[in-house]
Structure 1
Amino acid sequence: MRQLVPEGTGEAETDLIDNDCRTALLGVLLNDFSGTWISHPYATSTAENKLVQLRAAQAAGLRVPRTLVSQDPVEIREFCASLDHRVIVKTVRGCAHQPLLTRRVTDAHLAAEQSIRLAPAIYQEYVPGTRHIRALCLGSDIHAVGIESGELDWRSNLRGLVSGTTRPATLDDATAARVTATLKRLHLAMGVVDLKLDPGGRPVWLEVNPQGQFLFMEALSGTDLIGPCVDFLARQAR
């Protein structure tokens, strides 16, 4: 299906073109594709919901930050006070046109009642530390990379990630089993999982992206990820 968007097309029109092309293609595939999905579109769509992810991770035994999803200013202020105002905020879904990174909640945020009431957001206990893990999960095979970054959301400074701050990592057996169980609960054949190590070295679940980026991890850490991914896809195709 070929998509051509003329120069000068407005944002609303571009959204219409993108959505209709995507939905038409998905409909054709759902009706007629008889191969193996990596992962099925229904599972992918459901797993992209951060609330569903959190429940699945918690049910699988992973540590998750204390969380509030709300647009009630009073409720949010009480939650922040209960955590000594060590709280972050991130979008429930967000939008492609203007990606928003995870931020620490400030007094200015809490004072903006009108903005708070517009839409729910995810408020979570801040996990201190600089050690992050991004794990490529291919079925029960997990290939992890450790990322050393002082940024709250390391994605805000990808250029700052260099060899030496990004290196191969290994999940302990219990955490690996819980991550695998989480993906099974979400019916995902694969996923890219983000964890953060607290000051005691204990992994805390952040989120999973059913089709997350991982090739940059190979370039920065020297970990072979393309090979295992190709092998996984070949096994699934048999």
Structure 2
Amino acid sequence: MSDSRPVLVLTNPYDVTADLVLRLLAEREVPVVRLDPGADLHTDASLTATYGAGGQWGTLRTPHRELDTSRVRSVWVRRPSPYEGPRGLGGQDRRFAAEQTLWGAGGVLASLPGAHYVNHPWRNRGAEFKPAQLSAAQRCGLRVPATVITNDPGEARTFVARQPGGVVYKPVRNTPYRVDGRPQSVWVREVRGAGITGAVSVCPHMFQIKVDKVFDARVTAVGDRLFGVRIDSPDLDWRRRQDAMTCTPIDVPEPIAHAALRYLSELDLLFGAFDFAVTAAGDWYFLECNPNGQWAWQPAETTADIAHALADQLEKGPDT
């Protein structure tokens, strides 16, 4: 008998990456409900959760579906919109509605009984902290570049002075930033001691030795399956001009694969997008692991393999 339990996909309506996986689930006749909770629950969707002596049950209603939340097979936390509150409200009323939706609906959707999460939203949030990533990577046997995170300009200058091969700066989190109303990105860039000013004291900054790399590598992990690509770019930060880079599939060395899977297990993740800098000697330096990273920009065969691996995870549901 086929499994009629649906997969719940939490993402925004413009997420074309999610569409790749949803098409595969449709071909497999797996029922899917798509929801953008930060927006839909303020417009045409409703969510009810009930807790009592009989356990937990509830209903999610959208314009197209009615879902028994106790029967959700899997939840894919992709790229839902931020919880910002209804646009018709202003000031503290909108902030209040946004917070109530986050802690209310967000809490319900993160606590569906028996559901298989890819990844669980609380695991995603915990794994986004760069200091936690570096600490976990070291424990799991990955090589980590020497790094200092500090809001002390003197400590930063001392660190830079001790690194003859150079130092790069990177933000501890990619935060939206605008100049004259136009969105800006803060890219990884090389820094010298003379460029470190008292402004460092405003917040923690991340300084890391510049790895003498010959290429970058992205390793996308889905469960126990790893998909590697080599990235050749003229830029220090390949994300800056993706049209100038080339990507080719690459085998992941066994020690790196073993450590990456241990990392996922330690942080309780089923998906992770690992970035490495690889030297001429073949040393793989861990840079970060985005627990909800983009992956559809990779070569077509790699993108297709990742989409199938994600569809497999969502279709199988929780382990019995």
Structure 2 equivalent of residue 92 of structure 1: 172
Label 1:107 to 1:226 Cα distance change in 2 as closer, same or farther (>3 A): same
Query: Is 1:202 paired with 2:283?
Result: yes
| Alpha-carbon distance between aligned partners in 2 of 1:18 and 1:61, rounded to the nearest angstrom | 40
The structural deviation recorded for 1:204 is 0.6
Q: Is the 8 A contact 2:249 2:299 kept in 1?
A: no
Q: Which structure 2 residues correspond to residues 33-48 of structure 1 after superposition, within 5 A?
A: 33-48=113-128
3-state secondary structure, aligned to 1:93: coil
Label 1:120 to 1:211 Cα distance change in 2 as closer, same or farther (>3 A): same
3-state secondary structure, aligned to 1:234: helix
Q: Which structure 2 residues correspond to residues 60-99 of structure 1 after superposition, within 5 A?
A: 60-84=140-164, 86-97=166-177, 99=185
Code of the residue aligned with 1:117 in structure 2: it is S
Give the number of the structure whose alpha-carbon radius of gyration is greater. 2
Structure 2 equivalent of residue 179 of structure 1: 260
Code of the residue aligned with 1:140 in structure 2: it is D
The structural deviation recorded for 1:138 is 0.9
Label 1:235 to 1:200 Cα distance change in 2 as closer, same or farther (>3 A): same
| Alpha-carbon distance between aligned partners in 2 of 1:68 and 1:92, rounded to the nearest angstrom | 11
3-state secondary structure, aligned to 2:118: coil
Code of the residue aligned with 1:210 in structure 2: it is P
Structure 1 gaps, min length 5: none
- TM-score for both structures, normalised by structure 2: 0.65
CA RMSD of superposed structures (Å): 2.7
Relative contact order, higher structure (CA 8 A, sep 6+): 1
Identity %: 28
Query: Is 1:101 paired with 2:187?
Result: yes
3-state secondary structure, aligned to 1:124: strand
Label 1:215 to 1:222 Cα distance change in 2 as closer, same or farther (>3 A): closer
Query: 101-110 or 139-148: which moved more?
Result: 101-110
3-state secondary structure, aligned to 1:65: coil
3-state secondary structure, aligned to 1:134: strand
Q: Is the 8 A contact 2:215 2:230 kept in 1?
A: yes
The structural deviation recorded for 1:85 is 6.3
Structure 2 equivalent of residue 5 of structure 1: 87
Q: Is the 8 A contact 1:131 1:196 kept in 2?
A: yes
Query: 123-132 or 216-225: which moved more?
Result: 216-225
Query: 168-177 or 38-47: which moved more?
Result: 38-47
Higher share of residues assigned helix? 1
| Alpha-carbon distance between aligned partners in 2 of 1:155 and 1:13, rounded to the nearest angstrom | 38
Q: Which structure 2 residues correspond to residues 54-65 of structure 1 after superposition, within 5 A?
A: 54-65=134-145
| Alpha-carbon distance between aligned partners in 1 of 2:233 and 2:93, rounded to the nearest angstrom | 39
Provide, for residues 5-64 of structure 1, a one-character-per-residue CA deviation record: whole Å limited to 9, x for no partner: 36xx89x99887766544443122134453011122222111100101101111111100
| Alpha-carbon distance between aligned partners in 2 of 1:119 and 1:104, rounded to the nearest angstrom | 19
Higher share of residues assigned strand? 2
Code of the residue aligned with 1:198 in structure 2: it is T
The structural deviation recorded for 1:190 is 1.2
Query: Is 1:235 paired with 2:302?
Result: no
Label 1:31 to 1:188 Cα distance change in 2 as closer, same or farther (>3 A): closer
Query: 149-158 or 87-96: which moved more?
Result: 87-96
Label 1:85 to 1:16 Cα distance change in 2 as closer, same or farther (>3 A): farther
Provide, for residues 117-152 of structure 1, a one-character-per-residue CA deviation record: whole Å limited to 9, x for no partner: 100111111112241111110122101111111211
Query: How many residues were matched structurally?
Result: 231
